[in-house]
């Protein structure tokens, strides 16, 4: 019946209910107080009436708040969140008119607007498809061309952060540490020779030869540094004679030329989310108790400037040095035979720590995964002191704490599909979490939550749901 009434009339009736309820509580309290005054006197009767009216008004207010919360506040939050999902992701989640059935035409109007915006986005995507295919073809041609050049090439920003590296450069860097876009080259080579070469290039504008030594010794690489034309930064090419680099396979290019324009490093708290580097990870374990169970798989990938960096992944099985319970194997599919000969947790955790160097760690239910890693921190001789984001808390910020915040539920909400073969694998769940984060960043920015510090402020408000680790 209420569904057929106008929204303004419903609001009027709602306030009439408040008025009638308040008057009724007061009158009933006065009547009962009058009855009590016969035995307790006038003062006792009025005191009883005042106390009864106070509790009655409190109960009435609580009931009205509950009705308002369930039928107004929560529906508005849900509709707004779904509109943000449609506006800032590729999801085609329908806005159910029943979500706000007591709010007039709000839900149908929002659904119509979202559908129209979605159709416009599809038309735009279709128009861009040909251009995207052309760019992909040009990239493949460039990759094939570089394959025939026996030189490892790396493009650096003015701060000597990695902006581009090819396959041969990746092979070279991997001998020292995992190749990472936007990582300082000084994570790989001693800074003295790099600083001297950069200073000479800046002074002369000419190419400068140098010999770079790895941070931990054991590898010396002749290189040539030259300035980039028309952009702040440098092209660093390594001679192929030492070390010998294979050119048999086509070399993937990993790059983001927007990094050339990035200014000096700001504090993480002040850095916009869209400019941060993330290491998104997940673990599979022998059980659910971090103080007694062990890791059997670590999977991770990196995100730079809000995009997944294809080719920068970390994926390893881990030998827990104990039998894997059958109940756990049923979940993640990892058996004792599969981990036989795999690295132990110390080697695997150290490798992941290097992969995540300089990045913000991201996980779904981060306290669980990090508890396993931090338990081994002393044995690994590493510190897990990275800034941390948790997609459970981010989901609570965007969709409200009362919603379901499992990874599957969030992916369904955002239109992200997890293939069955990838579910409950460390790398598969890490990729799904990264896709979730990529959708959430523009949604957070649209709400005015732009920097890492602002996000942490919001996530700490949901501490009852899950601990924020920052």
**Tens digit of pLDDT for each residue in 18-45?**
899 999 999 998 888 888 887 778 888 8
Identify the domain boundary among 209, 229, 260. Answer: 260
Q: Are 93 and 415 in contact (CB under 8 A)?
A: yes
Is 136 a member of any domain? no
Is 61 a member of any domain? yes
Q: What is the mean pLDDT of the segment spanning 68-81?
A: 83
Q: Which two tokens stand for residue 364?
A: 């779904």
Is 377 a member of any domain? yes
- Of 353, 364, 405, 424, the active-site residue reads 424
* Residue 312 shares a structural domain with residue 177: no
Is 353 a member of any domain? yes
128 DSSP assignment = H
* Residue 154 shares a structural domain with residue 105: no
* Residue 189 shares a structural domain with residue 231: yes
Q: How many whole angstroms from its chain centre is CA 112? A: 29
Is 140 a member of any domain? no
Decide: residue 410, CB within 10 A, 0-12 exposed, 13-18 middle, 19+ buried.
buried
Angle 143-146-150 (CA atoms, 0-180°, nearest 5)?
Answer: 145
Give me the pLDDT at residue 129, please.
55
* Residue 210 shares a structural domain with residue 280: no
DSSP string, 212-253: EEBTTSS-EEEEEEEEPTTSSSEEEEE-TTTTT---SSPPPP
Q: What is the mean pLDDT of the segment spanning 374-384?
A: 94
* Residue 341 shares a structural domain with residue 435: yes
**Tens digit of pLDDT for each residue in 329-372?**
999 999 999 999 999 999 999 999 999 999 999 999 999 999 99
Q: Which two tokens stand for residue 234?
A: 């440098």
Active site residue 332: no
* Residue 357 shares a structural domain with residue 448: yes
CATH code of residue 400: 3.30.420.10
Q: Which two tokens stand for residue 52?
A: 């009864």
**Full domain range(s) for residue 89:** 2-118
User: CA 43, 44, 47, 48 torsion: positive or negative?
Assistant: negative
| Average pLDDT of the chain to the nearest whole number | 85
Give me the pLDDT at residue 87, please.
73
Confidence band, pLDDT 50/70/90 cuts, at residue 469? confident
Q: What is the mean pLDDT of the segment spanning 1-13?
A: 74
* Residue 245 shares a structural domain with residue 279: no
Give me the pLDDT at residue 179, please.
93
Q: Are 234 and 155 in contact (CB under 8 A)?
A: yes
pLDDT higher than 70, residue 244: no
Determine what percent of the chain is predicted with pLDDT higher than 70: 83
Q: Which two tokens stand for residue 251?
A: 């070399």
Q: How many domains does the chain have?
A: 3
Does the predicted TM-score (pTM) go above 0.85? no
């Amino acid at each position: 019946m209420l569904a057929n009434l106008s929204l303004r009339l419903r609001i009027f009736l709602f306030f009439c209910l408040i008025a009638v309820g308040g008057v009724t509580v007061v009158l009933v309290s006065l009547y009962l107080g009058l009855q009590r005054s016969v035995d307790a006197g006038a003062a006792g009767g009025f005191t009883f009436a005042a106390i009864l009216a106070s509790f009655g008004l409190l109960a009435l207010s609580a009931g009205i708040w509950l009705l308002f919360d369930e039928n107004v506040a929560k529906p508005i939050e849900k509709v707004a969140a779904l509109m943000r999902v449609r506006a800032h992701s590729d999801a085609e989640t329908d806005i159910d008119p029943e979500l706000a059935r007591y709010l007039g035409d709000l839900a149908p109007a929002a659904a119509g607007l979202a559908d129209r915006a979605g159709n416009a986005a599809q038309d735009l995507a279709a128009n861009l498809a040909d251009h995207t295919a052309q760019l992909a073809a040009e990239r493949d041609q460039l990759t094939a061309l570089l394959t025939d050049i026996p030189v490892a090439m790396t493009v650096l920003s003015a701060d000597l952060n990695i902006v581009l590296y090819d396959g041969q450069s990746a092979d070279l860097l991997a001998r020292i540490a995992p190749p990472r876009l936007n990582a300082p080259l000084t994570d790989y080579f001693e800074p003295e020779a790099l600083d001297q070469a950069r200073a000479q290039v800046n002074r002369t504008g000419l190419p400068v030869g140098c010999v770079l030594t790895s941070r931990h010794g054991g590898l010396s690489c002749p290189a040539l540094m030259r300035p980039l034309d028309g952009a702040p930064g440098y092209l660093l090419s390594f001679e192929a004679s030492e070390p010998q680099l294979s050119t048999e396979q086509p070399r993937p290019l990993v790059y983001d030329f927007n990094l050339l324009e990035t200014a000096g490093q700001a504090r993480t708290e002040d850095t916009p989310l869209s400019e941060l580097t993330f290491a998104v990870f997940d673990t599979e374990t022998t059980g659910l108790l971090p103080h007694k169970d062990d890791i059997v798989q670590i999977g991770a990938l990196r995100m730079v400037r809000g995009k997944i960096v294809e080719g920068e992944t970390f994926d390893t099985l881990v030998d827990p040095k104990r039998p894997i319970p059958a109940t756990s194997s049923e979940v993640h599919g990892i058996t004792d035979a599969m981990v036989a000969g795999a690295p132990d947790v110390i080697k695997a955790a150290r490798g992941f720590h290097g992969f995540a160097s300089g990045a913000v760690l991201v996980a779904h239910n981060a306290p669980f995964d990090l508890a396993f890693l931090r338990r081994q921190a002393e044995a690994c001789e590493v510190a897990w002191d990275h800034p941390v984001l948790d997609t459970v808390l981010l989901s609570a910020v965007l969709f409200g704490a009362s919603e379901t915040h499992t990874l599957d539920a969030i992916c369904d909400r955002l239109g992200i599909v997890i293939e069955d073969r990838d579910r409950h694998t460390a790398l598969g769940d890490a990729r799904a979490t990264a896709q979730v984060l990529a959708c959430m960043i523009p949604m957070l920015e649209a709400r005015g939550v732009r920097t890492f510090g602002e996000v942490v402020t919001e996530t700490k408000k949901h501490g009852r749901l899950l601990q924020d680790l920052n």
